[in-house]
A and B are shown apart, each in its own frame.
Chain A
């Protein structure tokens, strides 16, 4: 085996191209905001739409559906440069979740109907998976879809409740796991994967406010929602196959290495400004040690992800190993958020309501302190969502180690 971890001149040229494209085209307005929390729907889609025109909005997709055809190294460079520029990335619900399900399992008509809106960033998708009683045990979901025929056309009548539905308040479409066969031998066997127009009568979206004060997640209630049967992806009662495929995809993107690198740089910047005993905080040996430990762990994660990517390029799909990336990736993200909060000292405590409508008239303390606490609080979700880290460890134990 010949190992080569360096970049070729072509790859370096690609990096330059990507870097200048972002510098020239990233909307100035978005640079001024701290995060997605401050943005309305149009602003949140703006960069996605620019990338859509350029043909760079779905780099991981097969070329025939709009993918870039980049090799793993190029994708890695793309992620790094996007993170370095602190762009607000396209939302994952279309690009990384339902899109791959549709091009893998959908009919030609479904691909034609739904994929272009994801590529262009004109359709907003949300994910209807979790239910109040079905979290880690997703297969126990109860939302019911009954098949009916009206005027010679087949429909599903959907009833039930979904929860933790991220940004459903803006969604045009949702992809839902619903129970089509309550009598199946195993709970996984009676589930179907439905695409539902969020404007359909009978859908109610109610906000759930989270610890940082954000309205990011929602409850979605479905009351006799009529969905054309043609909106079902893959076979009836085989939706679990799509769900499992999607979860593996979701996990592989979740490592967030490039963004974590930027996060660590941010810690260093803050800790060079903040003073501790009249010295920059970064000179405090305790603090410096924690930054060093983070860098070591992030390097371990990065090269584990690169090995996975190289495996994918050689034709090995993302398997249960991606659970490792999710566990370690989210642990590192949370440690970064924790260290930012520690670094900002007293000014982590004031409650900052955001710059938008209903926000504070003024910020309290340095700019970099404003979101430290809410970001840390909100970041606790990452070890819970997408299959909690306990569930991920269970997957590794069972699927990788065969225990």
Chain B
């Protein structure tokens, strides 16, 4: 049994940590998140060129550093720790995941070079967390397809050069059969976006397809057969979120511990009160278990039940850590100026991404308990 990282993996983590410490402190992050764009092209360029981390999770055949999901996990943990808003999950974990599945070296190259950024348009207003609930249609026409419909809260769409879209080429609204996957340029004719900021500092869009004509090349894989691949890549994304949650939780714990050691009331640092000590111990134990579950899930990929377990455990844990981190900061916890509230907000939204704690608990039940 071995939980150690390889030399390359350690290097990826250390370089990224050093970079984020220098160039992505809380104030810089706030400035980027609140800028007109809501993300930083310079930072993304640095990820690609200075750090080379965008290739860390791809095989050498594909032009990467020879890594995989462990490298994604390592990066996502730092994304959490520094509240990074740039689209690593959307582009590398999800976009790269589809590129790997469909063996599209051209996409991988675009991602590694930093010039291709991807947003995954799967959710729909009435579909909640079911990726097979697809009302967006793709009808064959003149050898290509015509897309119509509405995708909800497409994270990172405003910064994306390309969209990966689930659309129905056959079957009923919630059938797995008939779900197809398309990769299209974000500025394709007939694609309308409403861009907006998110409460966690990220960006997203409502995406409307109005007779958007796409070529046959836009289809990823076989028409109507994308459901299983979508679920597989989504599981990889959920593991990425779990790793992000670990970074968030560890950082919230660190901030809370140092705050309570400095904050004095009744003549002593409030960290001396046993009731608060035990609370912080419980928070620490949640973060430790989150790390364990993330390691488990990443090692067991593509086992979907393990991913469901991890998301359920971590969703509950990050809610507990976030709420108590704010509580222990007192009024400062809800002040926009303090970092802690922004970690709490990101953790809150993360808990519901791709499905809430209850959703994944129920999924685990169904997969294993019948």
Contacts and interface: CB of A to CB of B under 8 A. Distances in A.
A377 B358 CA distance: 20
Going nearest first, the 5 A-B pairs with the smallest beta carbon separation are A137-B265, A209-B336, A346-B153, A286-B358, A351-B197
23 contacts: A135-B330, A135-B331, A136-B265, A137-B265, A209-B335, A211-B335, A346-B128, A346-B153, A347-B153, A348-B349, A349-B153, A349-B202, A350-B196, A351-B197, A377-B341, A380-B334, A380-B344, A381-B334, A384-B333, A388-B327, A388-B330, A389-B327, A393-B275
A218 to B, nearest CB: 11
B123 A390 contact: no
Contacts of A163: 331
Is the contact region of chain A dominated by helix, strand, or loop, or is it mixed?
mixed
Contacts of B264: 133
Contact of A373 (B153, B199, B326): B199
**Majority secondary structure, B binding face:** mixed
B252 to A, nearest CB: 13
Given A278-B133, A374-B199, A380 B153 contact: no
For the side of the interface on A, what is the size category? 35 or more
Contact of A347 (B152, B276, B337): B152
A373 B347 CA distance: 12
Interface stretch (A223-231, A269-277, A318-326): A269-277
Contacts of A213: 336
Interface in A125-178: 130, 133-137, 140, 163-164
Nearest to A211: B341
Interface of B: 123, 125-130, 133, 152-153, 173-174, 194, 196-200, 202, 204, 206, 264-266, 270, 273, 275-276, 319, 323, 326-327, 330-331, 333-337, 341, 344-345, 348-349, 352, 356, 358, 361-362
Interface in A244-260: none
Given A286-B361, A287-B358, A208 B199 contact: no
A20 interface: no
A390 B128 contact: no
Nearest to B154: A346
Contacts, number: 136
B312 to A, nearest CB: 11
A55 B327 CA distance: 39
Given A210-B336, A349-B153, A275 B128 contact: yes
B152 A365 contact: yes
Given A135-B331, A364-B196, A390 B336 contact: no
A351 B266 CA distance: 39
Nearest to B356: A342
A136 B336 contact: no
